[in-house]
Amino acid sequence: MHSSSHVAVAPGPLRELVRACLDGLDELVAAFVAELRTMDAYASGLVPWPEVREDAEASFELLLRLTADLPVPDRLGDLCERIGRRRAELGVPLEVLLQAVRLDFRVLWDALLRRVRPEDLPALVHSAVRVWEAVEQHTMRIHLAYLDEAARLAREREHERSHLVGRLLATDARDPQVVAQVATALEVDPAGRFVVAAAAGGAQHPLREAAATLAESGVGVHVQQVDRRSVLIAQLPRGRRAMPSRWLREVHCGLAPVAGSLAAVPRAARIATALAEVAGSPDGERGPLRLAGAWPALVATRLAELGDALATDVLAGVDGVGRHERERLLETVSVYLRCGSVGRVAAELFCHRNTVLNRIRRFAQLTGCDVTRPDQAALALVALACRHASAAVPARRRPLTVRRPGRRCGSRPPAASRRRGPGGPARPARAGSCRGCWGSRCRTGSGRRDRRAGRARRGGTAPPPR
């Protein structure tokens, strides 16, 4: 099973010492157990002492046989894996386990030194590397087995926790026994206060990273998959009534109001998920989206077809004006509804205060909705949110319409063409443009061809002179 790269075959004196130690295994086990009693994890009885003695006796026998190249019986073939898995099941910390296993070398070397004859001491010193390699191989195998078992146990615990939390959310916490089981599995206080957040857009990974950071700091936290969306559940520290801002500062998510108990978590999870749905993908500032900042969008999604009807009813007047004016009015009103200050709107849109006031008055004339009044401002907020929600739904693709020559393109004539001079009628349209439009401003195919031909004739890219 093991062969040293330094000495291929154990020398005769080393084999004699190993056989002497095998005959006195009880002495080695007693010395090893005495050392373990000084460690808190073993002194507390985390591992039963009869089991400790049995494993120690088998370990020393294995190490001695590996050192002297003696046959290893089948019962010792998987000893390292059995010890590693068992210590992981019992919850022995890994660093404590490795410290205990490395004690084997000191106990074993002391036993060899006590039994060696003076004339055999040089041979024993030369063979020290064999003893060390045997102990190191033993330690490595135990370490790997421990890690494998710990990972398996963690997956099982996570699966159990997810199953219990799933039951809590599905039953709406109506069963007190389920609430108690979830509290035990998550190691939280069922009467505590909880933060519930749902990942929005592509923030699944950042939310899990935030949960890992909270877990490292000692916060009771769990991440549950709800309808292919990650939902974080974290218990607030005792005495805190609001979430610390650093917890989810850079995570794009929906954040529900703090749940007053574990039984209130299902309701908070539904709110957080609804907020995450309207949050969409982050397009600027990251961070949690709270209920107070997203209520118009939430109302719009809940109104469904009634929301479309409301948006059409309120905004019908605005829809009847030109595209440019409509965009300006809606932009100004949206910014005003967000900040509530004419001065801030003017600064943000780079226009005069009077321009802002005129647009607000124009919006009121067209819709009958004066956004300077709180009740009508709320109506405008919801109507605009409904319009935005309906625009976000992919519309059915329409067939491509080809504009034919002769059809009006909708462009306006230049000012010079609209004025009549003292000597006659206004200037007619250019040749090659569509009927009823004005050449260089035409947006149809014939108008564009006319402009390109003019630029080619002049040998440059400047527009034709008017």
The pLDDT of residue 400 is 38
Report the alpha-carbon distance of residue 357 to residue 442 in Å, rounded: 34
How crowded is residue 119: how many other Cβ atoms within 10 Å of its Cβ? 8
The pLDDT of residue 271 is 92
- Indicate if the pLDDT at residue 11 is higher than 70: no
Pairing state between β 194-199 and 221-226: unpaired
Residues 345, 334: contact at Cβ < 8 Å?
no
Residues 464, 451: contact at Cβ < 8 Å?
yes
- Indicate if the pLDDT at residue 160 is higher than 50: yes
- Indicate if the pLDDT at residue 410 is higher than 90: no
- 3-state per-residue secondary structure call for the chain: CCCCCCCCCCCHHHHHHHHHHHHCHHHHHHHHHHHHCCCHHHHCCCCCHHHHHHHHHHHHHHHHHHHCCCCCCHHHCCHHHHHHHHHHHHCCCHHHHHHHHHHHHHHHHHHHHHHCCHHHHHHHHHCHHHHHHHHHHHHHHHHHHHHHHHHHHHHHHHHHHHHHHHHHHHCCCCCHHHHHHHHHHHCCCCCCCEEEEEECCCCHHHHHHHHHHHHHCCCCEEEEEECCEEEEEEECCCCCCCCCCCCCCCCCEEECCCECCHHHHHHHHHHHHHHHHHHCCCCCCCCEEEHHHHHHHHHHHHHCHHHHHHHHHHHHHHHCCCHHHHHHHHHHHHHHHHHCCHHHHHHHHCCCHHHHHHHHHHHHHHHCCCCCCHHHHHHHHHHHHHHHHHHHCCCCCCCCCCCCCCCCCCCCCCHHHHCCCCCCCCCCCCCCCCCCCCHHHCCCHHHHHHHHHHHHHHCCCCCCCC
Residues above pLDDT 70, as percent of the chain: 80
Confidence of residue 121 (pLDDT cuts 50, 70, 90): confident
- Indicate if the pLDDT at residue 458 is higher than 60: no
Residues 211, 221: contact at Cβ < 8 Å?
yes
Average pLDDT over residues 405-427: 45
pTM score: 0.61
- Indicate if the pLDDT at residue 332 is higher than 50: yes
Residues 90, 45: contact at Cβ < 8 Å?
no
- Indicate if the pLDDT at residue 224 is higher than 90: yes
Average pLDDT over residues 417-424: 45
- Indicate if the pLDDT at residue 77 is higher than 60: yes
The pLDDT of residue 392 is 63
The pLDDT of residue 436 is 40
Confidence of residue 444 (pLDDT cuts 50, 70, 90): very low
Confidence of residue 405 (pLDDT cuts 50, 70, 90): very low
The pLDDT of residue 330 is 92
Report the alpha-carbon distance of residue 103 to residue 94 in Å, rounded: 14
The pLDDT of residue 279 is 79
- pLDDT (tens digit, 9 = 90+) per residue, 79-113? 999 999 999 999 999 999 999 999 999 999 999 98
- Indicate if the pLDDT at residue 438 is higher than 80: no
Residues 54, 62: contact at Cβ < 8 Å?
no
Average pLDDT over residues 205-233: 91
The pLDDT of residue 386 is 86
Output 235 or 433, whichever has higher pLDDT. Answer: 235
Q: What is the mean pLDDT of the chain?
A: 81
Confidence of residue 298 (pLDDT cuts 50, 70, 90): confident
Average pLDDT over residues 309-338: 90
Residues 6+ apart with CB under 8 A from 72: 1, 62, 65, 66
Confidence of residue 408 (pLDDT cuts 50, 70, 90): very low
Sign for the CA dihedral angle at 47, 49, 54, 60 comes to: positive
The pLDDT of residue 250 is 83
Report the alpha-carbon distance of residue 304 to residue 92 in Å, rounded: 56
Confidence of residue 203 (pLDDT cuts 50, 70, 90): confident
Residues 149, 88: contact at Cβ < 8 Å?
yes
Residues above pLDDT 90, as percent of the chain: 48
Average pLDDT over residues 287-302: 84
- pLDDT (tens digit, 9 = 90+) per residue, 236-272? 999 888 899 889 988 889 999 999 999 999 999 999 9
Max mean pLDDT range (253-257, 454-458, 462-466): 253-257
Confidence of residue 434 (pLDDT cuts 50, 70, 90): very low
The pLDDT of residue 7 is 38
Confidence of residue 64 (pLDDT cuts 50, 70, 90): very high
Average pLDDT over residues 169-197: 93
Average pLDDT over residues 174-197: 93
Question: Per the structure block, which two tokens stand in for 137?
Answer: 């191989």
The pLDDT of residue 128 is 87
- pLDDT (tens digit, 9 = 90+) per residue, 357-397? 999 999 999 999 999 999 898 889 888 888 887 776 554 33
The pLDDT of residue 287 is 82
